Structure 1
Amino acid sequence: MYSDLVAALDIGGTKIAGALVDGSGGICLRARRPTPAGEDAETVMGAVAAVLAELGASPLWGGVTAVGIGSAGPVDASAGTVSPVNIPGWRDFPLVERVRRVTGGLPVELVGDGVAMTAAEHWKGAARGHDNALCMVVSTGVGGGLVLGGRLHTGPTGNAGHIGHISVDLDGDPCPCGSRGCVERIASGPHIARRALENGWRPGPGGDTTAAAVAASARAGDPVATASFERAARALAAGIAATATLVEIDIAVIGGGVAGAGDVLFAPLRRSLRDYATLSFVRRLTVAPALTGGDAGLLGAAAAAAPERRDTAAAYTG
């Protein structure tokens, strides 16, 4: 019934999700633990091991041929290490080696979470059938990944396509990465909300100050909330257009919590792209919402891990 099983891990600052994924992208079994992000390295690894143990207790485990990991970054796929900003206990943590040990020596493939989302969208989502694509996660941060020439382009360390740290405002606010005016500093959910608050937007009776609340106000016609999303859209458009000009992508897929704003984000983004994507070879660039939703990390980790998926779905390479 199940073929070509891969164990997939999606590791972030709030949850560690695991699944057994078959060759058609079906999720056969799930496991999940909260991420003990404030604890030491071994405690966090203990949560990963618990997820793998739950998966390993299934009779399906005998069909698992590889493990794929999509992790918050930075990651270093060449060294097999991770240093997630939102998991301070892990700095240069040898995650690939530790997972290989827990799983009895199975092959392990590590990619960043933005790259995992890209692999998922190219395999099963909005970028399917496109040989050159940029896929983005716009949420608490802004990450991304690239498909070039029909292949997932991860770069030597697994971080290629990290569009969140392209500078689009030379005199902009300092970014924690050390640069200034980064896409993430303008277009991430917290910064959309921060700008709205600084310019006079006030939350409703419930006191919700998230980007989702700003989006709701924008849909209701609030000009300050609308302006905050329009600025975020311009930053995204500038980053997408720069990427398209450099590597000739023909689609940009956007997922993550901020993409849930729908037309509040996508309408000004498409308008702004007309201002930034002006050269003849990028004018036909399209923007689409992601389709794989909350399973993007798991599906992408599975796609990155299994050679047969890379060959049949999109000829992925690492």
Structure 2
Amino acid sequence: MTVYGALDIGGTKIAGALVDDTGTLVARAQRPTPARESAEVLMAAVTSVVDELARHSMWDAQSCFGIASAGPVDTAAGTVSPVNIPAWRRFPLVERVAAHPRMPAGTRPVLVGDAVAMTAAEHWLGAARGFDNALCMVVSTGVGGGLVLDGRLRTGRTGNAGHIGHITVDLHGSVCPCGAPGCVEGLASGTSIAAYAEASGWTPPPGGPATAAEVARSARAGDPRALAAYDRAARALAAAVAATAALVELDLVVVGGGVAQAGDTLFAPLRAHLAGYAVLDFTRGLPVVPALLALDAGLIGAAAAASATPGRSTAIPTRTAEASGRTAAWTA
């Protein structure tokens, strides 16, 4: 069995896994992300996850190691500057993970953005399999995306192509932590959904957290403030999807991440608003579907991306896009 190591680092959790060549997680570890702590406290949480994986019997059998991180990332430099993790700015994550004492000799981790990893996973095994042109999005603590164009994952020069969360959709909106006004992330992330609902007078259950999941629960019960928060998020996502479709022409949009777990509470208004924004003939009727690989897509995609790095041997096969007859691959 061929095994790949993987990390998936976001604003809420740091997850790690050993993934086999069928995309199955052989082992998994997870810690909360201490997102407001120092750079070294954050790195200690990453190390703790790697420590746990390294105790697994298959650890030494891994052939490569992939890291998916919230972005922006710089894949060439091996650094990360996640908008929702303030202490990491140009943080040398690849170098630090490579220095772990149990990392197999000669292993240099491969870095990709978390949404790019999700895109690789969904194109390999999930909802985008068989499609040549797809936008895959992660809507969670932040909002990210990745693009498959002409059957290939397109990551761009620094690995940030498709970063849809930082498209401006409200010219007069609040300034995002990235520095731009009215970003999708500031309107549609789980944090933004909960904050908007609270500002509108919604309150979580007594003793419960103010999260997007709780807002979704209230929306399903008919709370108009919760419904409005999800409608606002869906409108922002729809505007960004329509803009992307107009630029590159898409066959499919896949939406994953924690907020997507709200189901029709998100997808129904998203599809309705998209019909109003995507009005050109070549953008109209664009399917929007939930991700199939749920919350482990980042880990599976990090493994896939590491395996597909040029110069590496790999047991993960290139997929044939059954829907179009073209060859699908993950190279940039």
TM (norm. structure 1) is 0.91
CA distances 1:255-288 after superposition (whole Å, capped 9, x unpaired):
1221122111111111111111111111131000
* Structure-1 separation of matches of 2:214 and 2:265: 12
Q: Could you tell me which amino acid in structure 1 is paired with residue 154 of structure 2?
A: H
Partner of 1:151: 152
- Aligned to 2:272, the other structure's residue is in SS state helix
Please report how far the alpha carbon of residue 159 of structure 1 lies from its aligned counterpart in structure 2 after TM superposition. Answer: 1.1
Equivalent residues in 2 for 1:174-189, closer than 5 Å: 174-189=175-190
State whether residues 303 and 310 of structure 1, in contact with CA within 8 Å, keep that contact through their aligned partners in structure 2.
Answer: no
Give the distance between the partners of 1:30 and 1:97, measured in 2 at CA: 22
Q: Indicate whether 1:233 and 2:234 are aligned.
A: yes
Cα distance in 2 for residues equivalent to 1:162 and 1:298: 18
Describe the superposition over 1:285-310 as per-residue Cα deviations: whole angstroms up to 9, x where unpaired.
10001111121111010011112437
Question: Alpha-carbon deviation of 1:11?
Answer: 1.8
- Kept in 2, the 8 Å contact 1:250–1:284? The answer is no
1:191 aligns to what? 192
Bigger helix share: 1
1:185/1:12 Cα in 2 relative to 1: closer, same or farther (>3 Å)? closer
User: What is residue 79 of structure 1 aligned with on the other side?
Assistant: 77
Give the fraction of aligned pairs with identical amino acids, expressed as a percent: 65
Cα distance in 1 between the residues matched to 2:218 and 2:12: 27
1:69 to 67, 74, 80: 67
**Structure 1 residues 1-318: aligned runs within 5 Å:** 2-3=1-2, 5-102=3-100, 103=103, 104-206=105-207, 208-307=209-308, 308=314, 309=316, 311-312=318-319, 314-318=328-332
2:229 and 2:215 map into 1 onto residues whose CA distance is: 8
Contact 1:6/1:66, CA 8 A, preserved across alignment: yes
Instruction: Name the SS for the 1:110 alignment partner.
Output: strand
Aligned length: 316
Deviation track 1:174-231 (CA, whole Å, cap 9, x = no partner) reads 2221111111111112222222233333444445432222222222222232222112
How has the CA–CA distance of structure 1 residues 278 and 6 changed in structure 2, closer, same or farther, with 3 Å as cutoff?
A: same
CA drift of 1:120 comes to 1.4
Q: TM-score, normalised by structure 2?
A: 0.87
Whether the 8 Å CA contact 2:94–2:108 is kept in 1: the answer is: no
Structure 1: gaps of 5 or more residues: none
- The 1:87/1:198 distance shift into structure 2, 3 A limit, reads closer
Letter in 2 for 1:247: V
The ranges of structure 1 where at least 4 consecutive aligned residues each deviate by more than 6 angstroms after the TM superposition are none
My pick for the range that moved more, 182-191 or 90-99, is 90-99
RMSD of equivalent CA atoms: 2.1
Q: 1:234 to 1:56 in 2, by over 3 A?
A: same
Q: Point out the more displaced range, 46-55 or 238-247.
A: 46-55
**Cα contact 1:138–1:189 (8 A) shared by 2:** yes
- Are the aligned partners of 2:123 and 2:129 in contact in 1 as well (CA < 8 Å)? yes
Q: Distance in 2 between matches of 1:199 and 1:235?
A: 18
Q: Give yes or no for contact 1:186–1:231 (8 Å, CA) kept in 2.
A: yes
Q: Which amino acid aligns with 1:273?
A: L
Contact persistence 2:238–2:270 (CA under 8 A): yes
Amino acid at match of 1:189: G
What is the CA–CA distance in structure 2 between the aligned matches of 1:155 and 1:119, rounded to whole Å?
14
CA distance change for structure 1 residues 210 and 280 in 2, over 3 Å: closer, same or farther?
Answer: same
**Counterparts of 1:184 and 1:105 in 2: how far apart (Å)?**
38
Deviation, 1:35, is 4.0
